[in-house]
């Protein structure tokens, strides 16, 4: 006699089941999604969704800032852009965290998601959707996805044995675990070689996804799409893991072990594996499975970019594309992976308490200072060391003495008139300093190339080089010594070029420091509709030069001294 688990594989979903879909949808899944994306498809970018079993830390903020910079950049280009972030509220880790807190799991999650949304708001993350995986629309999308996989024969039942990590929410083969020692207690335990997290031997009946069947397709896909995963070092890691062979993936857990999650349709004894559940969030907010014929791409899918940390590469670069291939859904165009922040040379981790509270950091240094620091020093290929002294150094050299000093000199300098210099620029635009004017003519294109990689850090460094060059140019030109009437045109040339540098750099820096750059462009008197990428070139705007508000006797400083460091 077959078990209920086996019977569920051939059960026809009824209209009463929560995951019901019509037969037409099951038989014709391709017609909704496989049309080529139109040119006006929104730029669709996602951050990971964050586990709510602990408070947010600086690593979460870093990922959010990277995603937000890219979203704002594409908005700057004039493209409609959609950013999705949110919280992953299912799985063993969350269930255990709620038990430890002595709360019912839903009650726990209804409070635990709030700090993550608050962080996104406080960090000026311009998100369009904040998803919670406990929401009804996501539950429907996941159960629909499951039924589609099952209908096509990609799911089967099997007894599974292996080493399971609750912390990583994944099974590991024998070759991927090793004996470890807790230095604090001397306790020996079995741990994942990759993450160092403890694993336990588990034997259970559950459902499996035929991941091994996608070995060739994944290998071919990455061979023909060399920018699908960046940076290249991680692309090579993904290709090597595929080459070493793929085992079928356990995609459910027995209800008695994991009760907090989305039920397997028509089998109440099983809960859907958290990583299958979580990854589908990217589709949920793209209106899956409800697309309007002829407007399949209106909500943004396929994703243009997933921004993730390097510790979840396998899930996003192997499992996720295989799931999508199984249903003939378009794959994300790019997965942008970044390295970790370390504290005292150790990886930040909620489980060890080695974390930096992002709310404290924003409160201490200011939101745009933190966005600037994380974008400038954050690791893409290699880990970066987090230190308050580094933040202070970058603030003082790049923002206060660099950009802030240039703003004060140009806007509040005595003996010249920025508006006059801009208004008369046609007379001498061809006589400007050759090196700096050349840099300003090409800066927007160079930064564009950085963002296309994408490499927001290099884009920021490129802009800041021009800021430093402009300061050096102003110092060497000494406009404060050009007060004689016969030197007025020479004075105006210097001031105009410095003002143009501020205007262009201010426009291009908006994705990094939106609040401060609004303040800068207001001080320059740049019109609201003249702050797009297309405006960021030398001589494009001749209408600015008068501040948008009156500057008092003791005017505000764009980047004031940090009054308290610790």
Structural domains in the chain plus CATH codes? 4-361 (3.40.50.620), 387-535 (1.10.730.10)
Q: What are phi and psi of 87, to 5 degrees?
A: -130, 140
Bridge partners (DSSP) listed for residue 51: 88
What's the token pair of residue 483? 């007060």
Residues contacting 481, CB < 8 A, separation 6+: none
* Matching residue, tokens 């993550």: 116
Give the Cα separation of 50 and 530 in Å (integer). Answer: 37
Give the Cα separation of 199 and 422 in Å (integer). Answer: 66
Q: pTM for this one?
A: 0.87
Residues contacting 268, CB < 8 A, separation 6+: 255
- Distance spanning both ends of the chain, measured CA to CA: 68
pLDDT (tens, 9 = 90+) of the chain, 566 residues, equals 334 444 433 333 333 333 334 444 443 443 344 334 456 799 999 999 999 999 999 999 999 999 999 999 999 999 999 999 999 999 989 999 999 999 999 999 999 999 999 999 999 999 999 999 999 999 999 999 999 999 999 999 987 667 777 666 677 777 777 888 777 777 877 877 777 778 777 778 899 999 999 999 999 999 999 999 999 999 999 999 999 999 999 999 999 989 999 999 989 999 999 999 999 999 999 999 987 767 767 889 999 999 999 999 999 999 999 999 999 999 999 999 999 999 876 776 666 667 899 999 999 999 999 999 999 999 999 999 999 999 999 999 999 999 999 999 999 888 899 999 999 999 998 889 999 999 999 999 999 999 999 999 999 999 999 999 999 999 999 999 998 999 999 999 999 999 999 999 999 999 999 999 999 999 999 999 999 999 999 999 999 999 988 776 556 689 999 875 44
State CA 464 to chain mean position distance: 22
Give the Cα separation of 11 and 360 in Å (integer). Answer: 53
Other beta carbons within 10 angstroms of residue 190's beta carbon come to 16
What's the token pair of residue 512? 């990094």
């Amino acid at each position: 006699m077959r078990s209920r688990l086996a019977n569920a594989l051939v059960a026809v979903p009824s209209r009463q089941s929560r995951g019901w879909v019509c037969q037409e949808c099951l038989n014709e899944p391709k017609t909704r999604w496989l049309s080529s994306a139109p040119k006006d498809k929104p730029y669709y970018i996602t951050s990971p969704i964050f586990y709510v079993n602990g408070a947010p830390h600086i690593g979460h903020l870093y990922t959010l800032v990277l995603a937000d910079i890219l979203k704002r950049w594409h908005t700057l280009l004039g493209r409609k852009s959609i950013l999705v972030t949110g919280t992953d509220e299912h799985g063993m880790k969350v269930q255990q965290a709620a038990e430890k807190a002595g709360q019912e799991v839903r009650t726990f999650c209804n409070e635990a998601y709030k700090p993550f949304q608050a962080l996104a708001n406080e960090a000026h993350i311009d998100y369009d959707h904040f998803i919670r995986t406990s929401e009804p629309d996501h539950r429907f999308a996941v159960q629909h996805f499951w039924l589609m996989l099952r209908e096509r024969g990609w799911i089967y039942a099997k007894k599974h044995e292996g080493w399971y990590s609750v912390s990583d929410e994944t099974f590991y083969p024998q070759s991927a675990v090793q004996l470890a020692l807790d230095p604090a207690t001397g306790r020996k335990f079995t741990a994942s070689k990759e993450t160092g997290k403890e694993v336990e031997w588990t034997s259970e009946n559950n459902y499996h996804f035929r991941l091994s069947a996608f070995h060739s397709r994944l290998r071919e896909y990455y061979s023909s799409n060399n920018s699908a995963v960046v940076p290249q070092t991680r692309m090579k890691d993904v290709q090597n893991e595929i080459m070493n062979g793929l085992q079928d993936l356990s995609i459910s857990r027995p209800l008695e072990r994991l009760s907090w999650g989305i039920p397997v349709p028509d089998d109440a004894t099983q809960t859907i594996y958290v990583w299958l559940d979580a990854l589908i969030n990217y589709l949920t907010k793209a209106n899956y499975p409800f697309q309007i014929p002829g407007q399949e791409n209106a909500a943004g899918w396929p994703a243009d970019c997933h921004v993730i940390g390097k510790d979840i590469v396998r899930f996003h670069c192997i499992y996720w594309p295989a799931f999508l291939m199984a249903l003939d859904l378009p794959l994300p165009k790019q997965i942008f992976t970044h390295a970790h922040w370390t504290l005292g040379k150790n990886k930040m981790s909620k489980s060890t308490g080695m974390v930096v509270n992002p709310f404290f950091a924003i409160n201490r240094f200011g939101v745009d200072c933190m966005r600037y620091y994380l974008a400038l020093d954050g690791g893409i290929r290699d880990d970066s060391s987090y230190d308050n002294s580094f933040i202070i150094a970058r603030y003082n050299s790049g923002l206060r003495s660099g950009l802030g000093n240039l703003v004060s000199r140009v806007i509040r300098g005595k003996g010249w008139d920025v508006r006059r210099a801009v208004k008369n620029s046609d007379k001498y635009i061809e006589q400007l300093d050759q090196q700096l004017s050349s840099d300003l003519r090409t800066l927007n294109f160079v930064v564009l190339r950085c963002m296309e990689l994408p490499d927001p850090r290099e884009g920021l460094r490129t802009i800041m080089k021009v800021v430093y060059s402009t300061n050096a140019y102003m110092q060497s030109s000494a406009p404060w010594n050009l007060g004689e009437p016969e030197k007025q045109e020479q004075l105006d040339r210097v001031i105009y070029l410095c003002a143009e540098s501020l205007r262009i750099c201010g426009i291009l820096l908006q994705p990094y420091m939106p609040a401060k750059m609004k303040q800068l462009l207001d001080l320059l008197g740049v019109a609201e509709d003249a702050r797009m990428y297309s405006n960021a070139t030398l001589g494009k705007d001749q209408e600015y030069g008068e501040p948008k508000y009156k500057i008092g006797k003791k005017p505000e400083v764009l980047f004031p001294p940090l009054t308290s460091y610790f």
